[in-house]
Structure 1
Amino acid sequence: MTVTQLSASALKTRIEHEPHLFLLDVREPHEFAFARIENSVLIPLNQIPQRLGELNPQQEIVVICHHGVRSSQACMYLANSGFKQLVNLTGGIDAWSCDCDNSVPRY
């Protein structure tokens, strides 16, 4: 299973054309409260195994974290759980803040 890598600017373009794109944020609640992409859904990385039922394995899922490490781990776990359409946001929310929306705070 290959996970697609997507830059922040490419994600911004996709969101503009696909407003219902599913964005899964795997950071911790305090990180999500501080900085997030609008309409993203929070399921912290350590809760994914218990909350798999909340995700649709037939839907494309864009996974987001701080810099791209936890989201890569989440993608691999989801791939091993039968999910096929997984996209990792390269550089995470930090890249989003730098490249797309500087109103999103960096930390």
Structure 2
Amino acid sequence: MFAKPVSEIDVQALSEKLQSNEEFVLLDVREGWELERARIADKRLAHAPLSQLSAGEMPVLPRPARGQERSVYVICHHGVRSANVTRWLSAQGWRNVFSVRGGIDEYARKVDQSVGMY
């Protein structure tokens, strides 16, 4: 009846992760035009628009070998799409997957205004 709760990370905690040397994936599920307007510049960023995700396929996020899993932080504009993708990835057996609460909009407002807002 109700959707399963999603593991989340807030934008301040994400900012700390981005400043670390930790290996993880920041998965941006916004559309290409959204990425052009506001983006977090980081080598760990992977882009997979929600509109292109199909059943079980996510080429930018290959399934790691057991024991080599990295955390995946899923981000969108406000946190709705990222929560859905996080829920889907968890159902597919992914572990350590978190939705960025408030999305890029909250990140731009609270962490880094240079990211831009739309």
Q: The TM-score by the shorter chain falls in which range? A: 0.7 to 0.9
Of 34-43 and 88-97, deviating more is: 34-43
Identity %: 34
How many residue pairs get matched?
107
For the Cα contact (< 8 Å) 1:15–1:21, is it kept in 2? Answer: no
**Match status 1:84 vs 2:89:** no
Instruction: Determine which of 25, 29, 37 is the counterpart of 2:28.
Output: 25
Normalising by structure 2, what TM-score?
0.80
Q: How well do the aligned residues superpose, as a CA RMSD in angstroms?
A: 1.8
The answer to whether the Cα contact below 8 Å between 1:8 and 1:91 also exists between their aligned partners in 2 is: yes
TM-score of the superposition, structure 1-length normalised?
0.88
More helix by share: 1
Gaps of 5+ in 2: 64-68
Q: Which has the larger radius of gyration?
A: 2
Q: Which runs of 4+ in 1 moved over 3 A?
A: none
Instruction: Check the 8 A contact 2:24/2:70 in 1, yes or no.
Output: no
